[in-house]
Structure 1
Amino acid sequence: MTAAPGATLVIGATGTTGSRTAAGLLAAGHRVRAASRNAVAAPPGAEPVRFDWYDPGTHDDALTGTDRVYLVPPVGDPDPAAVMLPFLRRARARGVRRAVLLSSSAIPEGGPATGEVHRALPGLFDAWAVLRPSWFMQNFTSTHLHATTLRDTGAFSTATGDGRTGYVDADDIAAVAVRALTDAQAPRTDLVLTGPRALSHDDIADVLTEVTGRPAVHHRLTYEEMCDHLIRAAGTPPEFAALLARLDLAIADGAEDRVTDTVRRMTGREPNDFRTVAAREGAPVP
C-alpha cells in the first residue's frame, strides 16, 4: 500500500468500525480526518472534525483536504440515501475520488436502507467498494441491545429461531476497510464479510457461558414480540424496529447461513472466531 496524497475522512470515527478503521489507517501511515458529531479527538494522531449527516453546514469543512471517505450511515435511519446521496455528490465535486461504504450482508444493492446508496456509488466514483459484513460479534460485547440485556439479565432475545449467522469481528471489518481505502486498485465491488463459522444464537449463548463461566440464555421471540422488544427495550423507532425484526426472520430462513473467504483474501490472514473475541473483549454476562 502507498500513502494517499490527501487525507481519508472517516465518518463515524468514534463508532465500532470507524474507530478501528481510523486507527488502522494511522498505523499504516495515512492521514485521517476523524468525523463525529462532537469532533472528538480520537484516535490519537487523527484530526478531529465535526460532522453531522443532518447538518449540511458541517459537510464542506469535513471534506476539506480529503480525497477518500469511509462512509458509516446515520444510525437508525430507514432512508439514509436521503442525506447520504447529496453529501456524496458534494464530496465528488470537492475532489473525493474513492468511497467505501459500510452496508450489511443482509441488504443487497438496490435494497432498503443502504441498498440505495450501494446502487448509486459506482455512478459517483470510479474507485469504490461496499463492505457488506454479517452481524457484528461486538453486538455481544459492547453497547448493543444484546450486550445490554446480557449485562442486566444474563439473556438476549431474537426472532432468528435455529437460523445461523456468520458473525464477524469488527477488527476484521476495519482491516478490510483499510485495504479497500488504500490499495492501489479499489475493489470496485461489494465484499461480503463473515467470520470463520456460522453460529446459531443458541451457539452464541453456549460460547458466552463457556467463556464467562456464567449462564447466558437466548430467548426465542416471534416477529411481533421482537418488534415490541426493540421498541420497548432500546427505544427503536417502530419502522426501523420492523426492519430489524424482518432481518431476524430472514436469518431464521437461512439468509445469513454462510461463510466467505473475503477477510483472508483482503488481509492475508484468517478472520477471528467468536470465542476469541468474547474472551478478548469480555462478555457482559452478570
Structure 2
Amino acid sequence: MTTAGTTLVIGATGTTGSRTAAQLTAAGHRVKAASRRATPVAGAEPVTFDWHDPATHAAALAGVDRVYLIPPLGSSDPATMMLPFLHQARTAGVHRAVLLSSSAIPKGGTAVGTVHQALPALFEQWAVLRPSWFMQNFTSTHAHARSIRDDNTIWTATASGRIGFIDAGDIAAVAVHALTDEQAPNTDLVLTGPQALSYDDIATVITDVTGRPVMHHRLSYEQMRDRLTAQVPPEFAALLAGMDRAIANGAEDRVTDTVQRLTGRPPRTFRSFLERETRRSG
C-alpha cells in the first residue's frame, strides 16, 4: 500500500463505514469519521456531516485527499445531493473517491447508478464497490433481522432466487485497498461471499446455528412493495421490491473472486459469520 493522506469516511458509524474507518485507523491511516452527530470513532477525528445540510460539507472536506462515499440512506435520487458535493470535494483537493453502490445497480442505472456514471469524469482515481446483500441484514436493525426476532420469519419476493451474501467486514477490507493502494482500481468491483444462497437456505442455516426455527415466507412483488411502503417512501419501496423480483429471476445468482483477489484471503461464509455473531451475542 502507498502512504495515504487523510480519508474522509462518510457514514462512519454505519455498517460498512464503521468497519472501513476501523480498518484504516488500525493500519495507521489518518481518518476523518463523518456522521450527523460527529460520533467519536477510535483513532479517527470525528466530524459533523449531513447529506441534507450542505453547510456541514466544507469543514468535513478540509485537509482531505480521499473519500469513502456512503449515499444518503433511503433516497431514490441520491445524485441530487451527491454530485454537488463531489464537485466541491474535487475543488477542495480530493483526488480519490470510493463509492459504495450495489451489485444490483449498474453504471448509469437507477439511484446511485447515476453517481457511478459521473465518478470517472470527476476523479482520476476512483472505484465503485458493488457488494451483494449484507450478511448483517440478519443480525442488525434491518427489517429481516427484526422479522426474525419478532416472528421467526424472513419475508421476500425473491422466490428461490440465490444471492452471494457478503460480510460487511469483507466489503470494508476491499474499501481500504481501494482507498490506499498505490494504484486505484478505476473500475467497479462486484463483491460477493463465497456461496450463492437462497433465503430458504439462509433460514435453514439460521435454524441450524441458533436453534431458532426460522422460515422464509414468499411474497409477490406487489405484496412486498406494499409491506415495504409501511417502512420507507413508496418510490423506494417499489425499488427494493423490484430488486427482489430481479433476484427471483436470477440476477444475483453469482459469486466473484474480488475479495480474495484484492485482500489475499477468502470471503467469510454465512455459516461462519452467523457462528461468530452468535458467540458474540451469547
TM-score by shorter chain over 0.5: yes
How far apart are the structure 1 equivalents of 2:274 and 2:151?
A: 18
Matching residue within 201, 207, 216 for 1:203? 201
Q: Counterpart of 1:21?
A: 20
Match of 1:137 in 2: 135
**Percent identity of the aligned residues?**
70
- DSSP-derived class of the 2:98 partner: strand
Report the secondary structure of 2:65's partner residue: strand
Secondary structure class of the residue paired with 1:123: helix
Q: Which secondary structure state, in structure 2, belongs to the residue aligned with residue 143 of structure 1?
A: coil
Length, aligned pairs only: 281
Aligned residue identity for 1:39:
A
Aligned AA for 1:142?
S
| Distance in 1 separating the partners of 2:254 and 2:27 | 31
Work out whether 1:67 is the aligned partner of 2:80. no
Q: Deviations over 1:74-126 (max 9, x none)?
A: 00000000000000000000000000000000000000001000000000000
SS at match of 1:142: coil
Q: Is the 8 A contact 1:72 1:101 kept in 2?
A: yes
Q: Pick from 216, 220, 223: which aligns with 1:222? A: 220
The CA RMSD over aligned residues, in Å, is 1.3
Q: Which residue of structure 2 aligns with residue 267 of structure 1?
A: 263
Task: Show structure 2 runs of 5+ residues with no match.
Answer: none
Conserved? CA contact 1:141–1:282, under 8 Å: no
Quote the offset at 1:164 in angstroms: 0.3
Separation in structure 1 between the aligned mates of residue 83 and residue 205 of structure 2, nearest angstrom: 41
**For residues 145 and 240 of structure 1, what CA distance do their matches in structure 2 show?**
14
Residues 22-78 of structure 1, C-alpha deviations (whole Å, 9 max, x = no match): 001001110000000010002x11100000001110000000110000000000000
User: 1:131·1:193 contact (CA, 8 Å) conserved in 2?
Assistant: yes
Equivalent position of 1:36 in the other structure: 35
Residue matched to 1:117: 115
1:86 corresponding residue in structure 2: 84
Q: Secondary structure at the match of 2:205?
A: helix
For residues 91-170 of structure 1, what are the structure 2 equivalents within 5 Å? Answer: 91-170=89-168
Provide the C-alpha distance between the structure 2 equivalents of 1:178 and 1:50, rounded to a whole number of angstroms: 22
The unaligned stretches of length 5 or more in structure 1 are none
- Aligned equivalents of 1:18, 1:29: Cα separation in 2: 17
Q: Which residue of 2 aligns with 1:3?
A: 3
Instruction: List structure 1 segments (4+ residues) > 4 angstroms apart after TM superposition.
Output: none
Q: What secondary structure, in the 3-state scheme, does the structure 2 residue paired with 1:255 have?
A: coil
Structure-1 separation of matches of 2:86 and 2:238 = 28
Structure 1 CA distance for aligned equivalents of residues 141 and 260 of structure 2: 28
Q: CA contact under 8 A between 1:129 and 1:186: conserved in structure 2?
A: yes
Q: CA deviation at 1:156?
A: 1.3
Within 2, Cα distance between the matches of 1:223 and 1:253?
12
Paired with 1:212 and 1:244, the residues of 2 have a C-alpha distance of 28
Q: Secondary structure at the match of 1:265?
A: helix
Secondary structure at 2:208's aligned position in 1? helix
Match of 1:2, as an amino acid? T
